[in-house]
Structure formats: structure tokens, C-alpha cells
Amino acid sequence: DAGVTQSPTHLIKTRGQQVTLRCSPISGHKSVSWYQQVLGQGPQFIFQYYEKEERGRGNFPDRFSARQFPNYSSELNVNALLLGDSALYLCASSPPQGATKDNEQFFGPGTRLTVL
């Protein structure tokens, strides 16, 4: 089975630009979460979506937004990019509660965003 996939793998943008990152969860997973990992830190929670509805939001500004599509894939959008947005953006999916390994989040390889 394919794991969580993310695109693109790398991205370079300049300050003020906008970026869209994409994530496809593992087949059968309906929950998708986004995390930001700055160099030297652990991942920090941005958003969680389940069945196309936002279920949680971390402490990030309104420049960050996301959505989930009927096929459970997801997009993360960041507007008005700042230098500090340079990070690895990770997407994770998890099985429905009650399913095998429902306690685990499976991470994709991430998108490495550099803002110049």
C-alpha cells in the first residue's frame, strides 16, 4: 500500500508570495493533519481535518489555511510568506477510530519550503 504522499518535495519562494502544498492520505484514512517543523525543533501542529471539516487548529496566523477534498486529500495554503515560514511541512493521516492502528499518525515525507 502507498504511504502518505506530498507534493512538491521542495519549493523556493520569495517573501510576500503565496504557496499551496498538497497531501494524499493513505487509502482508507479520513483524517489529515498538517505540521510545521522548523530546523532543530519538533513538528508543530497547524491543522487537522476529518471528513472535510476542520477539527482543530494550532497557534498559527490566519495566513495559514487548509481544506480537505471529498477524496480526503488536502491542501495547505500559506499567504504573504515570511522568512520565518521556511520549514519542513509535514502531512499525517490516521485511520478511523476503532480501526487497526487508530492510535498512530502516519507521516508523509514532507515539503521543504524555503522563503528567500
Q: Is 42 in the site for other proteins (CB under 8 A)?
A: yes
Q: Does 110 bind other proteins (CB under 8 A)?
A: yes
The conformational region for residue 108 under phi > 0 = left, psi -120 to 50 = alpha, else beta, is beta
Q: Does 86 bind other proteins (CB under 8 A)?
A: no
Indicate the residue among 16 and 56 with the shorter CB distance to other proteins: 56
> Rounded to whole angstroms, what are the CA distances from 8 to 19, 48, 109, 115, 116?
11, 20, 10, 15, 17
If one asks whether residue 95 binds other proteins (CB under 8 A), the answer comes out as no
Among candidate residues 77, 86, 94, 108, the one with its CA nearest the CA of residue 36: 86
Q: Does 45 bind other proteins (CB under 8 A)?
A: yes
- Half-sphere exposure (Cβ direction) of 72: Cα atoms closer than 13 Å: 20
Q: Does 94 bind other proteins (CB under 8 A)?
A: yes
How far apart are CB 44 and other proteins at their closest, in Å? 7
Footprint of other proteins (CB under 8 A): 31, 33, 35, 40-45, 48, 55-56, 58, 90, 92, 94, 103-105, 107-110
